[in-house]
Amino acid sequence: MLTGRQIKTQLLMKDITQNELAKYCEIQRPYISMLINEKQPFTEEIYKKAIEYINSSKKFKEEFKIKIKEEKQKEKEEKAKLKALEKEKQKQEKSKKDKVNKK
């Protein structure tokens, strides 16, 4: 079993970010940091996933990075839609209040 420091070295050697590894392991990036800096021990499940990703092909990693970017873009678009809907709702409420005040 590799130590957290050895995993950290592998990440650097293979140009893998903590964020990327965290996404693959389905955990938060600060937790990955704690694991590789040996502040917390790896669970068996997270360790297996981390090693699986580290040892995966370059093509797999590239495809995973694309997937992450697509998900991030989709999330950004959804937030923009929600913001636009909220703005429209506020505009309608203001219009209603203005009509009531005119009477």
Contacting residues for 83 by C-beta, under 8 A, at least 6 apart? none
Q: What is the model's pLDDT at position 94? A: 84
Domain count of the fold of the chain: 1
**pLDDT for residue 64 is more than 70:** yes
Residue 85 CA: distances (Å) to CA of 21, 36, 91, 93: 34, 42, 10, 12
- pTM to 2 decimal places: 0.75
- The answer to whether 68 and 23 are in contact (CB under 8 A) is yes
Averaged confidence pLDDT in the chain? 93
Q: What tokens does 103 get?
A: 């009477």
| % of the chain with per-residue pLDDT over 70 | 98
Q: Domain of 44: which CATH number?
A: 1.10.260.40
Residue 98: give the domain boundaries: 4-102
For the four alpha carbons of 17, 43, 47 and 24, in that order, the dihedral sign comes to negative
